[in-house]
Chain A
Amino acid sequence: MNPPKSATAKKVDVQAARAPRSESEELISGSEAISHAVKLADVDVITAYPIRPYDTVMQYVSQMIANGEFDCEYIVAESEHSQFEIVKHASAVGARVFCGSSGVGWLYAFEALAVTAGLRLPMVAMVGNRALDDPGAFGVEHNDALSVRDLGWMLAWVATAQEALDTALIAYRVAEDSRVFLPCAISCDGAFLTHSQSIVKVPSQQMVDNFLPPYDRGDKQLHPDNPITVAPQANEDWVMEIRRQNDMAARRAREVIIEAYDDFNNQFGRGGEPFIERYMMEDAEVALVGMGTLAMPVKVAVRKMRQEGKKVGFLRVRWFRPFPTIELQGALSGVHAVGVIDRDYSFGSTFHSGALANELRSALYPLANRPKVVSFIAGLGGREVSTDNVIDITGRVFAAANGGEIDDQDTYWIGVRE
């Protein structure tokens, strides 16, 4: 079987991309970048609750409100469960909402997260990825956000502050599209992204208004003029049909994301390919796959190895939900071996791999010439993944490609004291 063609091959319209734009350049962190997006999106209701590292975004948001730069209802909730329930209900009334959390805070809200997706409410949230307690750790792990991966949440992972801002705008557009109406979380690696500054282009209000239409809940809006009953008891009579509708929405999200990136690329002159980023993949014999700020050490290592003539590329998964099955099949069908670096764990799962490796393996399974998949876990609890770690990983992936002594039915922990 040939890999299906990617629907994303559409070229960027360079002329439109050069259209006059007014963007300011600012030295800001990932959290601050998202706060700019939230303001530019003219969000109506925001709820906050403190937990590191996501909470920096709410510090920026509250300052903007206090200074009169941004008008919205801003509520400091008494728990994450309430934090997410409040915006869930605001969204049902037709308000554009923003929320966020990290680590165990995100899990404290879990019930609210489930119903938000079940109710097809287009909440946009920031997850400042953080290890789950216990033991206590502030550093990044992806298990917090990944915990909602089966519920209907769209999940984006960003690698730079610019991408954080841009993805937040795209997230509103996709989530609030009535073909989708699903919540979207933007995952930002704790510290490496939430707290690290870089130069970010902040678009003008005009540019954002052109890109992002107002939220219209339509005939699902809870209002006395539209006296509907939302979320009745459906039971076995109807639950399966409703689940199926959510499934169809999650499928449709794919096309809506592609449309949004096309428009974004046209209007802003950046944004790149939806779903995945390909780095030195053209002639790659082996590929590394990962999410988030892992891209930094991996790209440096890939460049270094390329100078030594090693044909290695990197494929960064930008959206975990919807999972870029087609893109990954297309991009990886030509390589001999793939090394997946998970910054998460899935104890007791297939080959003891992380969530990304397990998903990727099943995506590649239908391919006639499927590459070997070697699975790695690295950088847990915020531990740095060094370029040397990446070079070590790549050595093993090459070994797998060349029939060496590599176990592709187990998972290698990298940078761990055994």
Chain B
Amino acid sequence: MQQINIHALSDYLETQVLEPWKGIKKVAHDEYFTSGHRTCQGCESALVMRLMIKAAGPRTIVLGATGCMYVANTTYYSTPWVVPWMHTQLGSSGSAATGTAAALTALMRKGKMEKEPINVIAFCGDGGGADMGLSAISAALQHTQYNLLIFLYDNESYANTDIQVSGLSPYGANSTFSPPGKVHRIMHKRWKKNTAAMLAAGHPDCKYVATVSAGNAVDTINKVRRALTIGGPTFIHSLDPCPKGWDYDPKYSHDLGELAVETGIWPLYEVEEGKLKMYGKSKHIAKRRVERKPVSEYLLRQGRFAHFTKEDLDYFQGKIDEMWEKWLLPGVIPFTGE
């Protein structure tokens, strides 16, 4: 079948070609997210911001939705952002990226701005992105004529407002809106939304969706570079351990990120032009080359699950087992075949 490039019909702007960096020693030394931020000690999301913009480079505009990465990061007169940065409303990451990309497209086409590929990245938290802003992100992923990346940093709560349960908080997690009590031990019974796969499956024209974990820094960087290079609207979802919200010693942020992958709770994959690729330890788990670690190893290291009984742990384990043993595409697409 003949391939038709629909972008050729419109004014699709070129993207920057950002080759992957092969190994940590090849990663650029330049920093575009530097001193000035005030996140908690051990905040994985702050590191993720640093990796994200290091990957994108200086010819980038970053839009940041309300949340910890806004409030704790951009105190007036002490911004850590070396690149142009603008706040957007809690549910507006999709719209911010769309508007910025649309403006660049129009201004460059009409000769009102010098033509050059400028990266547009909008980031959002799990609350702002996967709850309030989901429809705007979905809409952004439909605008295939614009080059933009939506980057969701997922600390599994509305962290900035004092750790409240969101649609991406894990089952049973203790939060200030879902405390375990004398009558109801489990206040939060929803299962975490399968966000990246939902967006990939629901937006077949979107050319790149990936999940990342900052424990694997080079990989995180290269996924950002791939998304920006392939162009069109793209989406990356990062699971970020949060010492304050998850209640653990800040020095274990990376360990917990890795455990989330090793227990199978957080599958690492990318969907490029409709092609699914598992990677890292998730690939081995999917191919059953390695055993998943028991989820209790991950859950019991965090204070937010301290109230869990054996029954709760079993329930959680059972759901994770289903993900890998029953799902149509293990860890990704939750249907069962006939």
Give the interface of A toward B (CB within 8 A): 42, 44-45, 47, 71-73, 75, 77-79, 81-82, 85-95, 111-112, 115, 214, 222-224, 226-235, 237-238
Interface assignment of B107: CB less than 8 Å from any CB of chain A: yes
CB distance from A316 to the nearest CB of B (A): 35
Interface assignment of B138: CB less than 8 Å from any CB of chain A: yes
| Complex Cα gap A341–B256 (Å) | 66
- State how many residues of chain B have any CB contact under 8 Å with chain A: 46
* Least CB separation from A84: chain B residue: B95
Return the contact of B110 from the options A71, A112, A115, A232 (Cβ within 8 A). A71
* Least CB separation from A74: chain B residue: B102
Q: In the bound complex, do residue A115 and residue B89 qualify as a contact, i.e. CB atoms below 8 Å apart? A: yes
Q: In the bound complex, do residue B103 and residue A44 qualify as a contact, i.e. CB atoms below 8 Å apart? A: yes
| Complex Cα gap A81–B97 (Å) | 14
For B77, the chain A residues whose CB sits under 8 A away are: 232
Starting from the known contacts A45-B106, A89-B103, A227-B84, 15 additional A-B residue pairs (CB-CB under 8 Å) come to A72-B106, A75-B102, A79-B136, A81-B89, A85-B92, A85-B95, A85-B96, A86-B96, A89-B63, A89-B99, A89-B100, A92-B100, A93-B99, A230-B87, A233-B71
Q: In the bound complex, do residue B106 and residue A85 qualify as a contact, i.e. CB atoms below 8 Å apart? A: no
For A92, the chain B residues whose CB sits under 8 A away are: 86, 100, 103
| Residue interface bits B171-193, CB-to-A below 8 A is 1, else 0 | 00000000000000000000000
Residues 254-290 of B at the A interface (beta carbon under 8 Å): none
CB distance from A272 to the nearest CB of B (A): 32
Q: In the bound complex, do residue B103 and residue A78 qualify as a contact, i.e. CB atoms below 8 Å apart? A: no
| Complex Cα gap A88–B97 (Å) | 11
**A-side binding surface: helix, strand, loop or mixed?**
mixed
* Least CB separation from B74: chain A residue: A232
For B63, the chain A residues whose CB sits under 8 A away are: 89
Q: In the bound complex, do residue A86 and residue B98 qualify as a contact, i.e. CB atoms below 8 Å apart? A: yes
**Given known A78-B138, A89-B95, A222-B61, contact A73–B84 (CB-CB < 8 A):** no
Q: In the bound complex, do residue B99 and residue A86 qualify as a contact, i.e. CB atoms below 8 Å apart? A: yes
* Least CB separation from B109: chain A residue: A71
| Complex Cα gap A57–B105 (Å) | 23
For A238, the chain B residues whose CB sits under 8 A away are: 76
| Complex Cα gap A92–B110 (Å) | 17
**Given known A77-B139, A82-B95, A227-B82, contact A90–B102 (CB-CB < 8 A):** yes
**Given known A89-B100, A93-B61, contact A229–B94 (CB-CB < 8 A):** no
Q: In the bound complex, do residue A44 and residue B110 qualify as a contact, i.e. CB atoms below 8 Å apart? A: yes
| Complex Cα gap A367–B320 (Å) | 75
Q: In the bound complex, do residue B139 and residue A230 qualify as a contact, i.e. CB atoms below 8 Å apart? A: no
Return the contact of A230 from the options B85, B102, B135, B136 (Cβ within 8 A). B85
**Given known A44-B107, A45-B106, contact A224–B83 (CB-CB < 8 A):** yes
Residues 187-212 of B at the A interface (beta carbon under 8 Å): none
CB distance from B228 to the nearest CB of A (A): 14
| Complex Cα gap A89–B85 (Å) | 11
For A88, the chain B residues whose CB sits under 8 A away are: 99
Q: In the bound complex, do residue A89 and residue B88 qualify as a contact, i.e. CB atoms below 8 Å apart? A: yes
Q: In the bound complex, do residue B139 and residue A78 qualify as a contact, i.e. CB atoms below 8 Å apart? A: yes
**Given known A73-B102, A90-B100, A93-B103, contact A229–B85 (CB-CB < 8 A):** yes
CB distance from A11 to the nearest CB of B (A): 37
For B61, the chain A residues whose CB sits under 8 A away are: 93, 222-224
| Complex Cα gap A233–B38 (Å) | 12
Q: In the bound complex, do residue A77 and residue B74 qualify as a contact, i.e. CB atoms below 8 Å apart? A: no
For A232, the chain B residues whose CB sits under 8 A away are: 74-77, 79, 87
For B82, the chain A residues whose CB sits under 8 A away are: 227
For A214, the chain B residues whose CB sits under 8 A away are: 112
Q: In the bound complex, do residue A94 and residue B112 qualify as a contact, i.e. CB atoms below 8 Å apart? A: yes
For A71, the chain B residues whose CB sits under 8 A away are: 109-110
| Complex Cα gap A154–B135 (Å) | 30
Q: In the bound complex, do residue A75 and residue B143 qualify as a contact, i.e. CB atoms below 8 Å apart? A: yes
* Least CB separation from A86: chain B residue: B99
Interface assignment of B59: CB less than 8 Å from any CB of chain A: yes
Q: In the bound complex, do residue B107 and residue A95 qualify as a contact, i.e. CB atoms below 8 Å apart? A: yes
